[in-house]
Amino acid sequence: MKKYKHKKSKCLNSKYKKFPLPNCIVKIFYNVLHIVQLSIILVLHLLLNLKDAYTAAHCTRVMRLAVSFAEYNNYAVTQIKILKYSALLHDIGKLLIPKKILAKNKKLTHEEYAIIKKHSYYGYIITKYIVGKNIEAEVIKHHHERIDGKGYPDGLKGNKINDLSKLLSICDAFDAMTSTRSYRKELSFEDALIELQANAENQFDKNILNKFIYFVNSKSNSCITKKIKPE
C-alpha cells in the first residue's frame, strides 16, 4: 500500500512538471497577491488611525524617514521595500492594546507598560499571518530590541538583531522625540540627535546611528541650529 501511494504521488509530480504554469499566469497571481496585501495593509492602517490617530501618523512619518534614509544610503531596492512596509506597520500591534492605555497622558504603571511591550509581538503575528509578509514581520518583532540585550520581546543582543530592525528603532525613537504629545513638548532635531547619541553604546547600533546623524544634518540644515557630529 505504501509503495502504491509513493508511486502515485511520483506520477502526479511528474505529471505536473510536464505542464508548468505559464509565466503570465504566475505574474498575474503575484500581482493579485500584492494588491490583496496592499489592501489589507491599508485597512489595518485605517483601523489604527481610528483607534489612535497619533500612532497611525507616527507610523507614516517613520516610514517616510526610514525610506528616505535608506535611499540616501543606497540600500538595495528589495531592502527598501521591506523597510517601507515594516515601518508603516511597526506599531500595528497596538490595535490589540487597550485604548485607555494608549491614550493615557501620565506615566504608565508597571502593569500597563508590560501590556504596551506586547505590541511588537502582536505586530509580528498580524504582519505574518494576516498580511502574509514574513521578513517584515521579523523586522517589526525586533524593533524594540537593544544592542545591550535589554530590549524586548526576545532580548536579542548586538549582531543578533536584524539591521533593518536597528534602523527602524532609531527612526522610531527620533520621530517620537521630535513629536509633540499631550504630556510633553517635542525636542528639537538637535536635542533628539544628542539623546540618540547618548544611548549609542547601550540601545542603538553606533554605525547606523552615525549614518543617520549625517543624513539628518544633510537633509535638515535649516532645522538644526547646531550640527551634531557623529562619534
Report yes or no on 17 lying in a domain: no
Report yes or no on 10 lying in a domain: no
Report yes or no on 65 lying in a domain: yes
Closest CA to 89 of 52, 123, 122, 129: 123
CATH of the domain at 116: 1.10.3210.10
Each residue's pLDDT expressed in tens, for the chain with a length of 231 residues: 444 444 444 444 444 455 577 787 878 877 888 899 999 999 999 999 999 999 999 999 999 999 999 999 999 999 999 999 999 999 999 999 999 999 988 889 999 999 999 999 999 999 999 999 999 999 999 999 999 999 999 999 999 999 999 999 999 999 999 998 767 789 999 999 999 999 988 999 999 999 999 999 887 644 443 444 455
Distances (CA, A) of 82 to 11, 53, 148: 39, 24, 25
Contact 90, 83 (CB under 8 A): no
Range of the domain at 121: 27-219
Report yes or no on 230 lying in a domain: no
Report yes or no on 126 lying in a domain: yes
All cell numbers assigned to 150: 535589554
Report yes or no on 21 lying in a domain: no
Which pLDDT does position 60 carry in this prediction?
96
Which pLDDT does position 28 carry in this prediction?
85
Domain count within the chain: 1
139 in the Ramachandran plot: left (φ > 0), alpha (ψ -120 to 50) or beta? alpha
Report yes or no on 59 lying in a domain: yes
Report yes or no on 4 lying in a domain: no
Which pLDDT does position 23 carry in this prediction?
81
Which pLDDT does position 31 carry in this prediction?
84
Which pLDDT does position 173 carry in this prediction?
97
